[in-house]
Amino acid sequence: MLKVLDDLHEKPEYIILDPPRDGIHPKALPKILNYGVRRIVYVSCKPTSPARDLVDIMKAGYRPTGICMVDMFPGTAHIETIVLIERVRNAKYGWYRYDSRFALPVYNETGEIERYNVFHASLIVRHSEDKKLYLYDILDIKKETSNPIEP
């Protein structure tokens, strides 16, 4: 990835990151942030990786504006996390509203996945000066759909 970043001379409009389980390489992150793109989409199969990388991403003037978690491997501890990160001018620590979508599997009597229930949640989160995120309130959770799986 570092070689590709070194050879890239045009500024991209946006960046989609899908790093290995351990997250973005520490030498690659500053190069990615130096492009100054307006939006970054961070896809991760380990939720602690974007949580760790967001500290440095937020220092560079970006804020997560949407988070979605998808259970692609039901019955396991693995979950995909997708974070929309946007550049904010004069970004400061404080209170932010997040809108998130997530899906939970519904199982039938035999233990097979019957359908997914999709929910939308609105959250209030505080970004503190100690670089931590604190959930303040869940404003709303609504069930959007219940989609059966087609055979």
Q: Is 68 a catalytic residue?
A: no
Sequence-ordered list of residues with C-beta below 8 angstroms from that of 38, at least 6 positions apart, any chain:
13, 14, 86, 87
Q: Give the whole-angstrom CA distance, residue 101 versus residue 143.
A: 10
At 134 the three-state DSSP class reads: strand
Instruction: Record the tokens describing residue 36, joined without a space.
Output: 């100054």
Q: Which candidate in 1, 15, 43, 45 is catalytic?
A: 45
Burial of 64 per CB tally in 10 Å (0-12, 13-18, 19+): buried
How many helical (H) and strand (E) elements, i.e. helices and strands, does the chain have? 3, 7
Question: Contact 63/85 with Cβ under 8 angstroms?
Answer: yes
Q: Which residues are catalytic?
A: 45
